[in-house]
């Protein structure tokens, strides 16, 4: 459903994308991970038609986004990181306007609004002003709006940023539901446990280049199964081991303060790039 070949983009002298290649299959939930400034947002903006392509090829559902922009855009829906709903309109009105933009008939819009409000468990709030919704409900409405025109591909850019863990997991359940219903999902996130839980495959991007693509299990297994973190006056170091016994032996031999934990996707990224994936000072599960 998504095909990218040798995609590049420069902003002035800054090389945002340096020739990336990605293929995402129909019905796949694909996570795109990297630190701030790695090129994630630039990739999504190009794929959704918000930024012009530099060079290379990008297809959505077989449509070239450079040559068939309108057809390509109809293939996808976008739930952006920033909440850009109209706060002075109701829940239903926000969805209705989106349907109008995609030339849906009045009957189609009514049917789809009813379906989506039931889908995101907001059937009792169609006339509520968006400004009165909680952050979690606004995130759910963003996803519903992106699904209004029944796209084949859904782009989720940091869909749970700023939400507390309980609400975040409700969004995860909604994303899982969308995936089960056949949509192809392209997800960016800084929450490591989010990608581990949701993604079929993961791509690591750093400095505009793809450094690894595989399932979360394979990427983590390449590092090890258990990690030992140690902190001293020089900072923190992490060592990785194939099993708990060998990790425990290292702890016993080394002494001092330590944390024994399972390897996560951030470890896999760190092993390939020497960098951590951190947002607003927060890490995912097992981060440091």
For 131-142, write each residue's pLDDT tens digit: 999 999 999 999
Can you give the pLDDT at residue 255? 61
**Mean pLDDT, residues 166-174:** 94
Can you give the pLDDT at residue 253? 77
Query: Percent of the chain scored above 70 by pLDDT?
Result: 95
Can you give the pLDDT at residue 70? 93
Can you give the pLDDT at residue 69? 93
User: Do 125 and 141 meet the contact criterion of CB atoms below 8 Å apart?
Assistant: no
Residue 288: pLDDT over 90? no
Can you give the pLDDT at residue 61? 94
Residue 282: pLDDT over 70? no
Name the pLDDT band for 250 (thresholds 50, 70, 90): confident
Residues 6+ apart with CB under 8 A from 266: 192, 276, 277, 283, 284, 286, 287
Question: If you search the block for the tokens 């960098």, which residue do you land on?
Answer: 275
CATH number of 2-217: 3.40.50.300
State the DSSP code for 82.
S
Q: 3-state DSSP call for residue 218?
A: helix
Q: Compute the mean pLDDT over every residue in the chain, rounded to the nearest whole number.
A: 92
**Mean pLDDT, residues 276-285:** 47
Domain borders along the chain are: 2-217, 221-273
Q: How many other CB atoms are there within 10 angstroms of residue 86's CB atom?
A: 12
Can you give the pLDDT at residue 254? 66
For 65-77, write each residue's pLDDT tens digit: 999 999 999 999 9
**Mean pLDDT, residues 101-114:** 97
State the DSSP code for 38.
S
Can you give the pLDDT at residue 256? 65
**Mean pLDDT, residues 13-22:** 96
> Hey, which residues does 60 pair with through a beta bridge?
2, 63
For 177-201, write each residue's pLDDT tens digit: 999 999 999 999 988 899 999 999 9
């Amino acid at each position: 459903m998504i095909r990218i070949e040798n995609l590049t983009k420069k902003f002035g002298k800054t090389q945002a994308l340096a020739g990336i290649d990605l293929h995402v299959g129909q019905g796949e939930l694909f996570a795109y991970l990297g630190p701030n400034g790695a090129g994630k947002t630039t990739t999504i903006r190009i794929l959704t038609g918000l930024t012009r392509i530099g060079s290379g090829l990008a297809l959505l559902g077989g449509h070239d986004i450079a040559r068939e922009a309108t057809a390509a855009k109809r293939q996808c829906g976008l739930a952006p990181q920033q909440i850009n709903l109209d706060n002075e309109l109701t829940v239903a009105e926000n969805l209705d306007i989106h349907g109008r933009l995609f030339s849906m008939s009045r009957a189609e819009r009514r049917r789809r609004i009813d379906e989506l409000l039931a889908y995101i468990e907001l059937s009792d709030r169609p006339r509520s002003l968006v400004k009165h919704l909680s952050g979690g409900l606004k995130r759910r409405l963003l996803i519903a709006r992106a699904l209004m025109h029944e796209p084949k591909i859904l782009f989720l850019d940091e869909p749970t940023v700023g939400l507390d863990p309980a609400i975040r997991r409700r969004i995860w359940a909604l994303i899982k539901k969308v995936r089960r219903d056949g949509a192809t999902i392209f997800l960016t996130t800084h929450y490591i446990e989010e990608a581990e839980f949701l993604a079929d495959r993961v791509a690591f991007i750093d400095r505009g280049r793809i450094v690894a693509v595989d399932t979360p299990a394979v990427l983590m297994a390449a590092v090890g199964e258990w990690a030992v973190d140690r902190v001293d006056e020089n900072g923190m170091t992490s060592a990785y081991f194939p099993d708990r016994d060998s990790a425990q032996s290292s702890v016993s031999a080394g002494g001092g303060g330590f944390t024994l934990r399972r390897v996560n996707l951030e470890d896999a990224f760190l092993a390939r790039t020497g960098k951590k994936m951190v947002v607003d000072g927060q890490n995912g599960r097992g981060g440091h």
